[in-house]
């Protein structure tokens, strides 16, 4: 078993990250497997070396270990470009020049209220899909032609072991077309997108079990689709509960009040942090591992 924790170095780690990282680490260790750390820093404008250092510090303090060197997405652009090229050569991508505002306006039918939302926000209305493009793979934003991509594949399936929706999931073609739309696979400023990078990297690292927050469950069909298109294995998915604050709000990265560093500064122990997120202490875990 290979699991991973894949934070973006754009802010402090909070209790929700601690839960996600410890869960992935403990799952791998319980199975005699490997826990990996991956730095998801494709957003060069927001990623900061200081946040990356803080991630290493916090996770080390929590008692987690991982093999070196750590994979950084900023060093992986050639791999993403190769995947885009393969999809482009099969006619599955098209350039998109729409701004957020263009998409909102095109998607908003008069009198029908707010336009439908998918995992990436407003569902793309397909404005640029039919535009002629014959050039080599351009440096623009690129979207996947979802209908065309689905038509090349047998039905999709993945295994989920998380507590909310365990079992085999078979993403439905029509539900994907209407509930997701054509996803962005390359942003003009990044040369890739979250969806493409995470799929290419999970495969490159041999990740067998993707553990991550339940907020990413709706994005999983996109990832399973990309794996099928690129000939990559589909890992097992484990979407875990989200850690909420006392008022039931999800913890955001910017909510410094819940930063692990703050609890550390106030003198909390790693065991206390484990208990705060509902996990048992490592002493109990070590006993379990030994037995």
**Of 128, 122, 121, 123, whose CA–CA distance to 142 is shortest?**
128
Residues from 31 through 60 that contact ligand GLU (CB under 6 A): 40
144 binds Zn ion (CB under 5 A): no
25 binds ligand GLU (CB under 6 A): no
Q: Are 159 and 209 in contact (CB under 8 A)?
A: no
Residues from 98 through 137 that contact Zn ion (CB under 5 A): 98, 127-128
Please choose which of ligand GLU, Zn ion, none residue 98 contacts, taking the beta carbon within 5 to 8 angstroms, the exact cut-off set by kind.
Answer: Zn ion
SS3 262: helix
Phi-psi region of 199 (alpha: psi -120 to 50; beta: other; left: phi over 0): alpha
* CA atoms of 222 and 195, how far apart (whole Å): 7
7 binds ligand GLU (CB under 6 A): yes
- By CB under 5 A, which span of 88-96, 159-167, 204-212, 247-255 interacts with Zn ion? 88-96
Residue 75, both tokens = 């060093």
- Residue of 55, 62, 96, 207 that binds Zn ion (CB under 5 A): 96
- Residue 261 CA from chain centroid, whole number: 23
- Residue of 83, 180, 198, 273 that binds ligand GLU (CB under 6 A): 198
Instruction: Report the nearest approach of ligand GLU to the CB of residue 291 (Å).
Output: 31
Query: Locate tokens 């992935």: which residue?
Result: 24
* CA atoms of 225 and 227, how far apart (whole Å): 5
Instruction: Report the nearest approach of ligand GLU to the CB of residue 4 (Å).
Output: 8
6 binds ligand GLU (CB under 6 A): yes
201 binds ligand GLU (CB under 6 A): no
Please choose which of Zn ion, ligand GLU, none residue 260 contacts, taking the beta carbon within 5 to 8 angstroms, the exact cut-off set by kind.
Answer: none
Q: Are 95 and 131 in contact (CB under 8 A)?
A: yes
Which residues contact residue 82 at a Cβ distance below 8 angstroms, ignoring those fewer than 6 apart?
Answer: none
The residues that touch ligand GLU, with contacts defined as CB under 6 A, are 6-8, 40, 198, 212, 216
Residue ranges that bind Zn ion, judged by CB under 5 A: 96, 98, 127-128
């Amino acid at each position: 078993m290979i699991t991973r924790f894949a934070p973006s170095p754009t802010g402090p780690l909070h209790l929700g990250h601690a839960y996600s990282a410890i869960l992935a680490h403990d799952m791998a260790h319980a199975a005699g497997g490997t826990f990996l750390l991956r730095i998801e820093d494709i957003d060069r404008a927001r990623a900061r070396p200081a946040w990356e250092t803080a991630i290493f510090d916090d996770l080390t303090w929590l008692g987690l270990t991982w093999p070196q060197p750590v994979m950084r997405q900023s060093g992986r652009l050639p791999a993403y470009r190769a995947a885009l090229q393969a999809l482009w050569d099969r006619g599955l991508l098209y350039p998109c020049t729409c701004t957020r505002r263009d998409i909102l306006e095109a998607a908003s039918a008069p009198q029908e209220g707010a336009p439908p939302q998918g995992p990436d926000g407003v569902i793309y209305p397909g404005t640029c899909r039919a535009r002629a493009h014959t050039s080599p793979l351009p440096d623009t934003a690129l979207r996947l032609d979802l209908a065309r991509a689905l038509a090349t594949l047998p039905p999709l399936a993945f295994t989920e072991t998380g507590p909310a929706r365990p079992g085999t999931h078979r993403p439905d073609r029509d539900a994907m077309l209407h509930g997701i739309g054509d996803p962005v696979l390359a942003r003009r400023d990044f040369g890739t997108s979250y969806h493409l990078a995470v799929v290419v990297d999970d495969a490159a690292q041999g990740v067998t079990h993707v553990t991550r927050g339940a907020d990413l469950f709706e994005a999983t069909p996109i990832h399973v689709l990309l794996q099928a298109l690129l000939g990559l294995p589909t890992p097992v998915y484990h979407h875990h509960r989200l850690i909420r604050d006392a008022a039931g709000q999800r913890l955001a990265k910017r909510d410094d009040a819940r930063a692990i560093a703050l609890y550390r500064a106030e003198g909390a122990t790693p065991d206390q942090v484990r208990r705060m997120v509902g996990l048992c202490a490592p002493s109990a875990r070590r006993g379990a591992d030994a037995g």
